[in-house]
Structure 1
Amino acid sequence: MNSHSAMCSEPRLDYVMCASPAGTHRMAYWEWGDPDNHNILLCVHGLTRSGRDFDALAQALSSHYRVVCPDVVGRGASDWLLDPTYYAIPQYVADMLTLIARLKPATLDWVGTSMGGLIGMGLAGSVAVSAQLRLSHPLSLPVLQQIPLGKLVLNDVGPALSWEGLQRIGDYVGIPVQFASFAEAVAYVRQTLAGFGPHTDAEWEDMTRIAFVRTAEGPWIKHYDLRIALPFTTQTEAAMQLAEQMLWQSYQSWPHQVLIMRGQQSDLLGASTVQEMVARHPAAHSVEVAGVGHAPTLRHADQIAIVEQFLMG
């Protein structure tokens, strides 16, 4: 393994061209570790965040993995979609499949925070459907069947999510805000993301630099396309329950070990849901992170150790 790449303190930025029914778009991704390493750890962020959220985790694991942290379309350094109705899990899964095809992993482990976990479960569901299709058409070899899914970390997310927790997130996602100073942006992030738990001033500032960008005119604005909130405006509790049924099937189809991390004070992932997840998957176990709501940031040594021990064990 290339020790220089593994020890690099900054990630490499690259792009992959993806497609939606409305056209093409570039998805950015950040890479840590040896670019020739085909043991891939794919880290996928939450709804309003970006791949740089995983910097600390990626550095810790980059001597073992090629760690790849995409900016889901509409966020960070990625393009915005022409049609915002495609800001949804099926499109995100399709984009990840395009990325995986480029990476050509020998093994593929997955860490998904919140939305990133939903994307991982959606991917597992797609792979399972592909396997069923192959049984019907034995001469074909769908690309999905070739994805070597390994271990899965679901960070404060599961097939069943609290409607109230989703509404809380939806209340701020699409709101256009701008701040004259970086300090004001930091204060906003500390307030809206209080569920992340205690962090130092420097950590809050770092998380704000990921969440906000400074415009040419001067003000600080959110780094993402505000139209990602569109699905929240059309979501109903009945539709969410229907989606849950599909997610349970997808979750149960993940072929290997699953770690469910839950913030002890989470308003999105209930303790009873975690118990059901452990009961429904033969290779799942859970851990609760004290003093944190939605969601553990995987920035602190104790949280990183939980993930590292699971992936390396």
Structure 2
Amino acid sequence: MPDQMLVEPIQADPAALTCRTDTHHGHPHTAAMSALRSALDTLGVAADRMAWKDYEKIMRTIEPLIGAGHTLRHFDYTHSAALQPGTVERLRSDYTVRLAYTEWGSPLQPTLLCLGGIANSARRFDYLARALAPDHHVLCMDWAGRGRSGWLVEQSDYSFEGNVAQVLALIRHKRLGRVTLLGSSLGGNVAMRVAAEAPELVDGLILNDIGPFIPTERRRRRAEAVARHYVFRHPAQLFHRTGAAQKNDGPVDDTVLLHNSFHQTRWSEENGGRVYRHDIRALQCYRDGASRDHDQWDDWQRVKCPVLLVHGMMSDALLDTTIARMLDKPRVSVLHVPDVGHTPTLSDPLHIEALRRWLAAPQPWPVESTIGWTAGADRILFR
């Protein structure tokens, strides 16, 4: 694998941007795509005529090939009265909510704690976690109000400070030593705050297409898109919506989009279709705060650990000016990924191998490097 991967200085041959490989035996992509093709052939239905029973048959076929090896766990998180600004004072009190996380690998190995975006599920990290599990203890958390976690009492309880508290609570619950934090979008911003406030807990940061600054206009567009209630009454609607929403995900295959959309949604008998697996109030709270720039440069200045910044080169959330300013800090490297927008899925074998190599030896590492994609990604449903 390493000899097929590209991690070169940015000044290298531009052809590096399209470096690809066809051979990644043992990775779940190959088996899952084969299983998907076989299931579609057996069902004999087109995507636009698929029923939910067909969709369920497909997911029962491919999901074990992707998510095998994890354990779903929960712990009780106490949401402090101090983090309840929208509750009248006489009603404020600490309360407990059940938070979910997936666990991969042995606790005897170095710990990688993965934190998703505003509307992500912990299962979005399955490809990465499964590949790293032989050498790492990987934990992937569902934020309160998302995925398999419980919901908070008030909309205003879904605050940035509350997310920070949830991460620290999981670290305490698992009695972890020092960890590496991997954060996508919101998760990366939270990871920066944890590294700034509790440097004794953090060995390193992997920031997936996020920096200390996000312009207002970008935040507003994202907030308007996610802070709505969607009901998918037919699989074709889910394929269309997910395909449109993930149009900048790069050359990933159908199994990645199926897997992520499956765990991001659930069946709702009341609505007669699948709905997003989150408390809509959490996303509406984010929308309410998206009327201004996100500025975290003070936190960034306090980060002392090594940092790997993964940059989707079509991203509108991580600006070139932000990257340049981040690179002024020592022990910061950026890995550019072409043909993809905000938050690469981290499911491609080449990208996973790059993260594995950085985790093993963050220093020395090129200040800037680029990496291509594995060849052969197929789109059958999400076109």
TM-score range, shorter chain: 0.7 to 0.9
User: Which of 108, 125, 130 is equivalent to 1:37?
Assistant: 108
> Which of 178, 191, 196 pairs up with 2:249?
196
State the SS of the aligned residue for 2:198. Answer: helix
Q: TM-score normalised to the size of structure 1?
A: 0.85
SS of 2:98 mapped into structure 1: strand
Gaps of 5+ in 1: 1-7, 129-146
Tell me the TM-score normalised to structure 2 length.
0.70
In the alignment, which residue of structure 1 is the partner of 2:181?
110
Q: Residue by residue, what CA displacement relative to the aligned partner does 1:244-292 show, whole Å, maximum 9, x if unpaired?
A: 1xx212223222110111100001110110110111x211111111000
**Residue matched to 2:274:** 220
Aligned to 2:140: 69
Shift of 1:236: 5.6
Q: 2:348 maps to what in 1?
A: 300
| Pairs within 5 Å for 1:1-313 | 9-20=68-79, 21=81, 23-34=95-106, 36-37=107-108, 39-127=110-198, 147-217=200-270, 218-235=272-289, 237=291, 239-240=292-293, 244=295, 247-279=296-328, 281-313=329-361
8 Å CA contact 1:38–1:105 kept in 2: the answer is no
Decide whether the 8 Å contact of 1:195 with 1:295 is kept in 2.
no
In structure 1, what is the Cα distance between the partners aligned to 2:222 and 2:339?
19
Distance 1:67 1:236, change over 3 A: closer
Partner of 2:32: none
Letter of the 1:305 counterpart: E
Deviations 1:28-83 (A, max 9, x none): 0000001x325211011111111111111111111121100000111000001111
Give the whole-Å Cα distance in 1 for the aligned partners of 2:171 and 2:109.
11
- For structure 2, the residue ranges without an aligned partner over 5 or more in a row are 1-66, 85-94, 362-383
CA distance in structure 2 between the partners assigned to 1:311 and 1:234 by the alignment: 36
C-alpha separation between the residues in 2 aligned to 1:171 and 1:112?
22
Contact residue 311 and residue 336 of structure 2 kept, 8 A: yes
For the 8 Å contact 2:227–2:287, the answer to whether it is kept is no
Query: Does the C-alpha gap of structure 1 residues 299 and 274 become closer, same or farther in structure 2, counting only changes over 3 Å?
Result: same
Runs of at least 4 residues off by over 3 Å: none
What is the CA–CA distance in structure 2 between the aligned matches of 1:85 and 1:125, rounded to whole Å?
A: 24
Deviation per CA, 1:79-121, whole angstroms, max 9, x where unpaired? 0111111212100110111100122223301110101101101
Q: Distance in 1 between matches of 2:287 and 2:160?
A: 16
Whole-angstrom CA distance in 2 between matches of 1:221 and 1:203: 19
Report the CA distance shift for 1:236/1:224 in structure 2 as closer, same or farther (over 3 A).
closer
Structure 2 residue identity aligned to 1:120: A
Once the two structures are TM-superposed, the CA of residue 206 in structure 1 deviates from its matched residue by: 1.2
Count, aligned residues:
281
Q: Deviations over 1:101-151 (max 9, x none)?
A: 1222233011101011011011123226xxxxxxxxxxxxxxxxxx43111
- Report the aligned-residue RMSD: 1.7
Aligned amino acid, residue 348 of structure 2: H
On the 8 A contact 2:220/2:287 being kept in 1, the answer is: no
Deviation larger for 113-122 or 158-167: 158-167
Instruction: Give 1:182 deviation, angstroms.
Output: 2.4
Separation in 2, partners of 1:275, 1:172: 29
Bigger relative contact order, structure 1 or 2 (CA pairs below 8 A, ≥6 apart): 2
Using the alignment, how far apart are the partners of 1:305 and 1:168 within structure 2? 33
AA aligned opposite 2:233: A
